[in-house]
Amino acid sequence: MNAVRLRPARGQLTDFRNRVRAHIAEHAPPLEAREGHRAPETTEQEVLLRKWFASLYDAGLVGADWPVEYGGRSDHHPLHDRIVSEEILRARAPRPVDQVNLAAHVLLHFGSEQQKQALLPPIRRSEHIWCQLLSEPDAGSDIAGVRSRGTQQEGGAWVIDGQKTWITDAHWADMGLALIRTDPASSRHDGLSVFVIPLSADGVEIRPIRTIGDAVEVNEVFLDAVTLSPESLVGEAGQGWSIIMAGLDFERFGIGANVILLELLLEDLVTLARAGRIDGTVAVDHDDVRQSVAELAVEVEVAKAFIDDHVERMISGADQIGDGSIAKLSFSETYHRVSAYGTDLAAAVIIGSEDSAVREAKERLRESWLWSRAYTISGGSSEMMRNILAKRRLRLPSR
């Protein structure tokens, strides 16, 4: 249960929002965020992104929730994180890498002091981009099925072997947070451990996977006799399941907090419906189009309402088990439905050649739709979210 946090005065939040907007206007790189194209495509883009992310830490806009001794701010409030996320998204500026937040969360809560001192400062300087080495070819979202193995040597070092797949950002990341089976006699949730793996280590091979959106966002990662020091183990051996679950709960709410993306999608959908024509008539004047857009608008408002309610419960210390899974499920499924309908509508309407804003909206809807299934899988598939809610929230029996 989280501690109760006093809500800042409205004027203080307004001042903070203005400070965030000013920072974005001054420091955001000239790269418009594109769904499914978040990773840099050139060395120049990578330099710009790392500089941008470092500026967010330097300004106390990202990582402000960390303990003060590791760079956080004593005046941080959860609503500040919400404002930063909203303003970055509304500006269509590149948003920080989700996996870095998860890694920092795990290190702060489970890492040794030595690990915190060594690994947290490079995150704040954006010298280290992180990925999470969880999913495997025969396990997918069921990470309890991990088969990659770690064997401890006589001197205490660990040797890691296995394969990970669908690893977001691995091709430009510096570090990986890996879930590895360290007890060969164990199964499912038992016998798992978490390791920090430098992706430059001998035995690490990364093979990019090109997505349907013609971009490299995910990768296969092969671990062939990768030797790690004893200090690479996070927490205790065998504690991996609880560590990763705590991290994923944090990440899942982060995905849900991107609900502002739904507003932007809906804006593009409305732009297309108002400007496009079907059989010579403005699309939104067709009853079926107007009805569909209205129904999707309601779904967006429902998702936003849950996020708002969850933030209020979190501030008051009344958040509940499974809230992060609900947020993730609500966001990702609504995102897919809005973008899928927008893509269908884009194929049905005719737009004027001079309507550049409408063409841009149409392209954003298409890219969002191509990427939308990734949202229903990353951080745990929708099916896994429903299982979590059934077991943890509803306490339904397992078969």
Q: What is the mean pLDDT for each group of 10 consecutive residues in the chain (399 residues)?
A: 64 95 98 94 97 98 95 91 91 92 93 97 97 87 86 96 95 97 89 97 97 94 98 95 79 63 95 94 96 96 84 75 81 94 94 83 95 84 85 84
Query: What's the pLDDT at 397?
Result: 87
- In the numeric block, which tokens belong to residue 296? 């999707």
Domain boundaries, the chain: 10-96, 130-238, 254-393
Query: What's the pLDDT at 331?
Result: 87
Query: What's the pLDDT at 91?
Result: 96
Architecture label for domain 130-238? Beta Barrel (2.40)
Query: What's the pLDDT at 1?
Result: 39
Q: b or e along 341-354 (b: 16 or more beta carbons within 10 Å of the residue's beta carbon)?
A: bbbebbeebebeee
Domain 254-393 carries which CATH code?
1.20.140.10
State the first-to-last Cα distance of the chain, in angstroms, to the nearest integer.
29
> Nearest Cα to 82, choosing from 260, 347, 298, 287?
260
How many DSSP H helices and E strands does the chain contain?
Answer: 11, 10
pTM: predicted TM-score of the whole model, two decimal places: 0.89
Taking CA 162 as the corner, what is the angle to CA 157 and CA 168, rounded to the nearest 5 degrees? 105
Query: What's the pLDDT at 7?
Result: 77
